[in-house]
C-alpha cells in the first residue's frame, strides 16, 4: 500500500450543511483530531482512531466511531479536494443517517 498522503496534514472541511471542521491527522494516518470551528457544535473536539484504506490513488475511505456513538465514514479525494461523508446517530425515534458532501482546503 502506498503512503497515506493525508497523514500528518491538517485540513479545513466545509460541509454542505454549513458546519466547518479543522481535521488534523496523525503522522501515521491512524488517528484524527477534529475541532468544530463553525456550526451548532462550535468548539466541540475529539481525537479518534481511524480505520483507513486507499481506494484509488489519492482517494481514501476513512471511518471512525465517536464517544457519542456517532459513526462517521468519509470518502476523501485529495485530487479533487472533496469529501463524501455519511454519518449515523441515535435519535428519540431510533438510529438515522445523513449523507453530505464537502470541500477540503489546507489549514
Rounded distance, CA 40 to CA 56, Å?
34
- Place 1 in a pLDDT band, splitting at 50, 70 and 90: very low
Is 83's pLDDT higher than 80?
yes
Let me know: does 78 contact 59? Beta carbons within 8 Å.
Answer: yes
Domain around 71: 10-106
pLDDT of residue 96: 97
For 31, 33, 81, the CA distances from 6, given in Å and listed in that order, are: 11, 13, 11
Q: What's the total number of domains in the chain?
A: 1
Q: Would you say residue 2 lies in a domain?
A: no
For cell 463524501, name the residue. 84
Q: Would you say residue 5 lies in a domain?
A: no
User: For 6-40, how does the pLDDT look when each residue is reduced to its tens digit (9 = 90+)?
Assistant: 999 999 999 999 999 999 999 999 999 999 999 99
Cross-strand partners of 53:
61
Q: Model-level pTM? A: 0.93
Q: Would you say residue 1 lies in a domain?
A: no
CATH number of the domain that 48 lies in? 2.40.128.20
Reduce the DSSP state of residue 23 to 3 states and report it. strand
Amino acid at each position: 500500500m502506498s503512503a497515506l498522503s493525508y497523514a500528518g496534514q491538517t485540513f479545513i472541511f466545509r460541509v454542505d450543511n454549513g458546519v466547518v471542521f479543522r481535521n488534523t491527522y496523525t503522522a501515521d494516518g491512524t488517528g484524527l483530531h477534529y475541532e468544530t470551528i463553525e456550526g451548532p457544535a462550535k468548539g466541540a473536539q475529539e481525537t479518534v482512531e481511524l480505520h483507513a484504506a486507499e481506494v484509488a490513488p489519492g482517494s481514501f475511505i476513512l471511518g471512525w466511531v465517536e464517544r457519542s456513538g456517532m459513526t462517521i465514514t468519509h470518502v476523501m479525494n485529495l485530487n479533487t479536494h472533496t469529501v463524501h461523508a455519511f454519518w449515523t446517530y441515535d435519535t428519540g425515534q431510533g438510529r438515522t443517517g445523513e449523507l453530505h458532501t464537502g470541500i477540503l482546503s489546507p489549514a
